[in-house]
Amino acid sequence: MMRGVLFFLIITAFFKSAQATPDTVKVGAYVMSVHDINFHDKEYTARFWLWFLYKNKEFDFVKQLDITNAKTIDQPQWLQDSIGHEQWSMLKMKCIMKENWNVLDFPFDKQHLKIHIENSLFDKNNLVFKADAKGSKYDPEGTLAGWKIKNFIVNVNEKVYETGFGDYRPGKDHQVFSAFNIEMDIERNAWGLFLKIFIGMYISFLIAMVGFAPNPSEVEPRFGLPVGGLFAAVGNKYIIDSILPESASFTLVDILHSLTFFTIFAILVVSAICLRLHDRDKVEESFRVNRIGSRMVAIVYILSNVILVALAAAN
């Protein structure tokens, strides 16, 4: 009798231990391309292979795969085979990914991309991912022209959902899923793009500076040229803002354009002072203020731009 009870307890403990051990799934990735980077819509497109090695035949990653930070996921191409006693699934993925772009230093920005993958049916009590770090790679030519991938890694962590998804039994107030992550940094040589998008702003500044050339008594060119440059600078900012996401932070684009706006205002102030002195027959003093004011405005503007741009490029 005692032997039977003991045998029953051993068998029960064995099955509980077996149930408590989740199945391990080895997963890796090969990123083929990152493209269609869209700052305004906060998205990009990624194409990559995923592979899974596992023993539990209940796993169906075609139906159970969940990429939690994807906007849309195309129907994957699927290959199924076996290696030894393990199932081997390969999925060719194409996803439009959500991304909160960091544009504080645009166009000298560096972006960190992350693709977060889970099994939507089995939590960590049933399935645990193990990253195939050695086999996971990326195609170095698989990004947009001007961009390059750096610091590519794959890793595994846990995603906690603070809900029981309707299951209010004791101990079911939250769910924890194993997650596989593909992470990479992308950056670019931004000097060409910087000149391309800011050339209009700098031309606007130069147009405004031409307003120092006419005689202080010539009202129309002295005030018309800076005002024309101001409108051109505002138009340039609207064009750049149209390609960037809305941001509550003051970005490099905002800082450089604001500096240009205030500089043009300073040009108008100097012209107004010169005109006032000229009208009071203080001609020599008017020309001296015009000369000193033009040099100070140019030096402050150029030095400020050099410092701000150099700091952004160095980050």
- Measured in degrees and rounded to the nearest 5, phi and psi for residue 174 equal -150, 160
Of 280, 278, 233, 268, the closest CA to residue 253 belongs to 233
Mark the ranges of the chain whose per-residue pLDDT is less than 70: 1-20, 164-167, 171-173
User: What CATH class is the domain 22-188?
Assistant: mainly beta
Distance CA 265, CA 257 (A): 12
Laid out side by side, the sheet with 65-67 consists of: 65-67, 111-119, 175-188, 147-161
Q: Which two tokens stand for residue 76?
A: 């994957």
pLDDT in the model for residue 171: 65
pLDDT in the model for residue 173: 64
Of 207, 200, 308, the closest CA to residue 263 belongs to 207
pLDDT in the model for residue 15: 42
CA angle 104, 261, 282 (to 5 degrees): 150
Helix (H, G, I), strand (E, B) or coil at 168: coil
Q: Which position has the token pair 């102030």?
A: 269
pLDDT in the model for residue 144: 74
Distance CA 188, CA 78 (A): 34
Question: Which homologous superfamily does the CATH classification assign to the domain defined by 192-314?
Answer: Neurotransmitter-gated ion-channel transmembrane domain (1.20.58.390)
pLDDT in the model for residue 172: 67
Q: Are 152 and 134 in contact (CB under 8 A)?
A: no
- Tens digits of residue pLDDT in 41-64: 999 999 999 999 999 888 888 888
- Tens digits of residue pLDDT in 238-255: 999 988 888 788 999 999
**Global confidence as pTM:** 0.81
pLDDT in the model for residue 260: 96
| DSSP one-letter code for 41 | T
pLDDT in the model for residue 7: 44
Q: Which position has the token pair 């490099």?
A: 252
Of 246, 258, 250, the closest CA to residue 101 belongs to 246
pLDDT in the model for residue 22: 86
The ranges assigned to domains in the chain are: 22-188, 192-314
